[in-house]
């Protein structure tokens, strides 16, 4: 447990960890079962529901699935890496193999490197060299991606383009782990798409472009302003006091500094720890506090929140 927590804070966290809920992880198990059952129920009843209603139900379900995969890679609901991999390997969201997401995200949790281009795999900033070597068109895209609307519209396509570029290079260089991962992921994805063709009214193109990409776009809103460049690593991570629909979809990851300081704390305990010691958390973040995603939209819907170029890297 981080040394900067006072005795009361430490005791509260330890008490939460000793509860029956935390020992059994029943909320995460229940959510996992709910997502699996929900996906199959919607797909198998899509002819009755219709394509439109099925789409509207599947998009938030996939956003929730992405959030659940995040819980799995952090050791919930079991402490077994292998078991959690099996539980989270279903390619409902299509684009990112579970193991790729797991390995890159755990590298992202080296807080001393947060936001640093080329070191933090989830950095949304460019080094000075890359920025100055970019074309006017590329710079324009990066500026647009710094607005909420741009992030929602272009965030997913840009992320998928970057993913394809990086992974094709790995495959081209013959990296065995990359080949194994993508062949396995592709096999499961093709099996899922066959199931859709066989048992639903959802065409493959519809699921890929009108369900999985919009789900990824919504998930991109969560990470839109999770981190900022700052000299102090603990002041690089946001505390976003979002409303309940977003907290539910993102499994409370809006309390992002709490998660980075306590990555092993389950999603259902993040709000408790934050609210009990809110003033301490806000002080630790250096006042990096956002009053919900609505505030971001009002202030930065069409205006970049900061520069795409990292200010001191």
Distance CA 49, CA 57 (A): 10
Distances (CA, A) of 188 to 90, 181, 182, 300: 7, 11, 10, 39
End-to-end CA gap in the chain: 30
Tell me whether the omega of the peptide bond preceding residue 117 falls within 30 degrees of 0, making it cis: no
Distances (CA, A) of 131 to 142, 179, 308: 10, 31, 8
Q: Is residue 53 part of a domain?
A: yes
Q: What is the largest CA-CA distance in the chain?
A: 58
The parent domain of residue 53 ranges over 7-300
Total domains in the fold of the chain: 1
Distance CA 247, CA 253 (A): 7
Q: Is residue 20 part of a domain?
A: yes
Q: Is residue 210 part of a domain?
A: yes
Sign of the C-alpha dihedral computed for residues 65, 67, 70 and 72 taken in this order = negative
Q: Is residue 222 part of a domain?
A: yes
Q: Is residue 248 part of a domain?
A: yes
pLDDT of residue 4: 65
Give the percent of the chain with pLDDT over 70: 98
Residues 102-157: pLDDT tens digits?
A: 999 999 999 999 999 989 999 999 999 999 999 999 999 999 999 999 999 999 99
Return the DSSP state at 211: I
Q: Is residue 310 part of a domain?
A: no
Distance CA 209, CA 95 (A): 11
Distance CA 130, CA 138 (A): 11
Q: What is the 3-class SS of 63-88, one letter each residue?
A: HHHHHHHHHHHCCCCCCCHHHHHHHH
pTM of this prediction? 0.92
Distance CA 4, CA 261 (A): 10
Q: Is residue 308 part of a domain?
A: no
Q: Is residue 1 part of a domain?
A: no
Give phi and psi for 260, each to the nearest 5. -70, -35
Give phi and psi for 309, each to the nearest 5. -85, 130
Mean pLDDT per block of 10 residues along the chain (313 residues) reads: 70 84 94 98 97 98 97 95 96 96 93 93 93 94 96 94 94 94 97 97 97 96 95 95 95 97 94 94 96 96 95 81
pLDDT of residue 2: 63
Give phi and psi for 85, each to the nearest 5. -65, -45
């Amino acid at each position: 447990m981080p040394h900067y927590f006072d005795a009361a804070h430490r005791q509260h966290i330890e008490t939460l960890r000793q509860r029956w809920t935390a020992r059994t992880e029943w909320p995460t198990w229940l959510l996992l079962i709910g997502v699996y059952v929900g996906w199959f129920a919607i797909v198998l009843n899509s002819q009755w529901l219709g394509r439109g209603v099925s789409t509207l139900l599947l998009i938030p379900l996939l956003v929730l699935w992405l959030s659940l995969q995040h819980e799995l890679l952090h050791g919930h609901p079991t402490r077994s890496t292998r078991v959690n991999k099996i539980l989270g390997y279903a390619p409902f969201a299509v684009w990112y193999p579970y193991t790729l997401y797991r390995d890159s995200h755990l590298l992202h949790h080296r807080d001393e490197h947060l936001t640093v281009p080329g070191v933090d795999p989830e950095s949304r900033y460019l080094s000075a060299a890359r920025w100055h070597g970019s074309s006017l068109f590329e710079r324009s895209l990066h500026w647009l991606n710094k607005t909420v609307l741009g992030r929602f519209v272009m965030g997913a396509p840009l992320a998928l383009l970057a993913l394809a570029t990086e992974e094709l290079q790995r495959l081209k260089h013959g990296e065995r782990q990359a080949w194994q991962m993508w062949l396995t992921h592709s096999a499961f994805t093709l099996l899922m798409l066959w199931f859709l063709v066989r048992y639903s009214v959802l065409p493959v193109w519809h699921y890929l472009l009108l369900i999985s990409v919009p789900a990824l776009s919504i998930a991109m809103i969560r990470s839109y302003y999770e981190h900022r460049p700052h000299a102090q690593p603990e002041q690089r991570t946001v505390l976003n006091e979002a409303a309940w629909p977003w907290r539910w979809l993102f499994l409370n990851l809006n309390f992002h500094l709490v998660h980075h300081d306590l990555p092993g704390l389950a999603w259902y305990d993040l709000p408790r720890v934050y609210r009990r010691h809110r003033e301490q958390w806000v002080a630790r973040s250096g006042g990096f506090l956002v009053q919900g995603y609505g505030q971001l939209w009002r202030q930065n819907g069409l205006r970049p929140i900061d520069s795409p170029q990292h200010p001191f890297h």
